[in-house]
Structure 1
C-alpha cells in the first residue's frame, strides 16, 4: 500500500481546529457553544467592500496580474503612507491570505534544513508552514509573568547559527496580544543587521492597539530595507477572513523577484476578493476607531472576569484580540475536550484553544489556553461564568483522582 510522506506525517494539527469533532458532537447533542477558540470577528465587513462585489461590472471573471491588481497595490501603498511607512506598489505582492505570504517568504529565503528563530508562544501555523518548507523553527520562550514581552536579545543571539535565515515575530501578537515597543523593534533590527539575517514581521493586527499605544513597523526602520519582510492581511482589519487576501511587503528587490516566481506558479490571487479588499480601503476612519473601541471594551471585560476566577493568571494584551490564560489544571487539552464532551450549564458550554499548540518546545504551556475576545461583552461574561463553573467541577474531579491514586500507591 502506498504511504504518505514523512513531511505529511510531521504536519501538526491545528490547536484551534482540532477540537472541531468534539464541538460538532456537542452541537448534535443540543448544546450552545460560546466560541472563544478562533479569531473570527463578529464585526461587520465594511459596506464599501460588499457593495463593490455586489455592483461589479465584470463580464468575464479573468486572471489578475500575479502580483495582484495594480490599482489595489497603489491604494495599499497609500494606506501604508498613512502609517508613516514609505513604500511603492512594486514593494507589494498580493497573496491569497497572509498564510500564502508567509509560505512565499519561507520559500524565497530558506533552503531545506535552514532555521528561523521565533518567540513563542507563536501563531500555530508558523510551525505548519515551516514543516511544509522543510525548515526548522527555533523557539525563544517568552513568559506570561512578563506579559510575553520580547525575550532578552542575548537569548536570540545565542541561537543564531550558520543555518539561521530569519527572525519571525507577530506584532501585535497572536496568541499573546503583546505589542512590541519601538525600542524592542530597534533591538531586533540591530540584531538582524549585525548577523545579516532577515527580520519578518507578521503585522496583520496592526490596527488593533490599545491604551494610547502606537504600532511601530519594521518597515519604518530605514536601515533595515534589505532585511525587512512584512506579512499583512485584510482578514482581521476589515473582518474579511473569508476573502483570503493578504500581501507580502519588502524593499528587498531580490526577495520580491523570487516571491514573484511563487506567485506566478499559483497564477493569481482571487479576483472578487481583490475587488472587495480594494474597496475596503475606502472605509472611513470611524470604521477603525469604532472597531478598536469595541475590542478594547471586550478586552477589559474578559481580563476583569478571568482575574476573578481563583487560580487563573492572564496577561494583559496590548493589541490584537487574543490573550493567554493560565488555568489551575494540569492538561488544558484534556480540559478543553472535557468542556465540550462532558460539561454544560443549561445546555451551554465554551470552546477554547489549548495553548500547547502555540509552542514548539516540549511540555510548555500545558496548562494554558488562548482566548479570542471576538464575542460581545454580554456573551463574554456568560462564557467566562461557564468557564469558571467548569473549572470548579473539573479541578474537583482532578483532585479526587489524584487523591485516589495516591491512596492506591
Structure 2
C-alpha cells in the first residue's frame, strides 16, 4: 500500500475545525449550536464591496498579475499610508488570504530545520505552515496570569540560535487579544536588527483595538525596512473571510523578488475577490467605529459573564475578538466534544475551540479554550450560561 509523507503525518488537525463532525451530528439531532469556536464575524460585509462584484461589467474573468492587481495594490498603499505605514504598491504582493502570504514567506526565508520564534499561544495554523515548510517553531511562552503579556525581551534573545531566521508575532493577538505596546515592538525590532533576523507581524486585526489604545506597526519603527514583514488580510477587517484575499508587505526587495516567484507558481490571486477587496477600501470610517463599539460591548459582556463562573480564569483582550479562558477541568478537547454530544439546555449547546492547539509546548493549555466573541450580546449571555451549567455536571 502506498504511504504518505512524514510531513503529512506531522501536519496537525485544526483545533478550530476538528470538532465539526460532532457539531454536524448535533445539528442533525436537532440541537441549536452557539458557535464560539471560529473567528467568522456576524458583522455585515460592506455594501460597497458586495456591489463591486454584483454590478461589475467583467466579460472575461481573466488572470490578474501574480503580485495582484496594480490598481488594488496602489489603493492598498494609500490605506497603509493612512496608518503611518509608508509603502509603495511595489512593496505589496496580493495573496490568497493571509495563509498563503505566510506559506510564501516561510518558503522564501527558511530552509528545512530552520527556526522561527513565536510568542505562545499563537494562531494554530502557524504550526501547520511551519510543518508544511519543514520549519521548527520555538515558542516564547506567555502566561494567562500575566494577561498573556510579551515575555521579557531577553527571553526571546536566549531562544536565538544559528538556525533562527525570524520572530513572528500577531498584533493584536489571536487567540489572546493581546495588544503589543510601542515599546515592545521597538524592543523586538532592535533584537531583529541586532541578530539580523526577519521580524514578521500578522496585523490582520489592526483596526480592532480597544480602550483608547492605538495600534503600532512594526513598519513604523525607524531602520527596520530590511527586516520587517507585514502579513495582512481583508477577512476580519471587512467581514470578508470568504474572499480569501490577503497580502505580504515588505521593503526588502530581495525578499519580495523571492516571494514573487512563489506567487508566479500559483499564477494569480482570485480576480473577483480582488475587485471586492479594492472596493472595500472605500468603506467609510463610520463602519469601523460602529464595529469597534459593538465588539467592545461584546467583549465586556463576555468577560463579565465568564467571571461569574466559579473556577474560571480569563484574560482580558485589548484587541481582535478572541479571549482565552481557563476552565476547572483537565481536558478541554474532551469537554468540547462532550458539549456537542451529550449536553444541551432546551436543545441548545455551545461549540468552543480547545486551546491546546494554539500551543506548541506539549501539555500546555489542556484546560483552556479560545472563545471568539463574534455573536451578539444576547447569544453570548446564553452561550456562557450553557458553559456554566455544563461545568456543574461535566463528569471529568
State the secondary structure of the residue aligned to 1:224.
Answer: coil
Offset of 1:306 from its aligned partner? 0.3
Aligned residues: 396
* Per-residue Cα deviation, 1:160-215 (whole angstroms, up to 9, x for no partner): 00000000000000000000000000010010011110000000000000000000
Give the match for residue 32 of structure 2: 32
Equivalent residue, structure 2, for 1:150: 150
Instruction: Within 5 Å, give how 1:279-358 maps onto structure 2.
Output: 279-358=279-358
- Over the residues paired in the alignment, what is the CA RMSD in angstroms? 0.5
Q: Distance in 2 between matches of 1:155 and 1:393?
A: 41
Aligned to 1:405: none
Structure 1 residue 83 displacement after superposition: 0.5
Q: Distance in 2 between matches of 1:152 and 1:392?
A: 38
1:72 aligns with 2:61: no
Spell out the pairing of 1:25-174 with structure 2 (5 A cutoff): 25-174=25-174
How far apart are the structure 1 equivalents of 2:108 and 2:219? Answer: 19
Tell me the residue number matched to 1:363. Answer: 363
Deviation of 1:154 (Å):
1.2
User: Is the partner of 2:173 in helix, strand or coil?
Assistant: coil
Give the distance between the partners of 1:343 and 1:224, measured in 2 at CA. Answer: 52
> How far did 1:366 drift?
0.5
Give 3-state SS (helix, strand or coil) of 1:158's partner: helix
The 1-side partners of 2:24 and 2:61 are apart by 36
Structure 1 position 202 matched with structure 2 position 202: yes
Separation in 1, partners of 2:199, 2:299: 29
Q: What is the match of residue 235 of structure 1? A: 235
Write the distance in 2 (CA, Å) between the matches of 1:258 and 1:155. 31
Q: Is 1:386 the equivalent of 2:389?
A: no
Quote how far apart the aligned CAs of 1:274 are: 0.1
Corresponding residue of 1:257: 257
Q: TM-score, normalised by structure 1?
A: 0.96
Please state how far the C-alpha of 1:140 moved relative to its aligned partner.
1.1
CA apart distance, 1:329? 0.4
Secondary structure of the 1:371 match is strand
- What is the SS of the residue equivalent to 2:138? strand
- Within-5 A mapping of 1:173-212: 173-212=173-212
Shift of residue 353 of structure 1? 0.2
Partner of 1:216: 216
Q: What is the alpha-carbon distance in structure 2 between the residues aligned to residue 259 and residue 80 of structure 1?
A: 20
Measured against aligned partners, the alpha-carbon deviations of 1:300-356 in whole angstroms (never above 9, x if no partner) come to 000000001000010000000000000000111110010001100011000000000
Residue 234 of structure 1: how far off its partner (Å): 0.1
Deviation at 1:11, TM superposition (A): 0.2
Name the SS of the counterpart of 1:223 in structure 2. Answer: coil
Using the alignment, how far apart are the partners of 2:274 and 2:290 within structure 1? 24
User: For 1:28-65, what per-residue CA distance to the aligned partner results, in whole angstroms no more than 9, with x for missing partners?
Assistant: 11000000000000000000000000011111000000
Looking at structure 2, the residues matched to 126 and 156 of structure 1 have their Cα atoms a distance apart, in angstroms, of: 18
TM-score (norm 2): 1.00
C-alpha displacement of 1:134? 0.4
2:244 is matched with 244
Displacement of 1:77: 0.5
Q: What SS does the corresponding residue of 1:222 show, helix, strand or coil?
A: coil
- Give the SS at the match of 1:279: helix
5+ residue gaps in structure 1?
A: 399-409
Instruction: Could you list the structure 1 runs, at least 4 aligned residues long, displaced by more than 3 angstroms after superposition.
Output: none
- Tell me what 2:2 maps to: 2
Displacement, 1:222?
A: 2.3
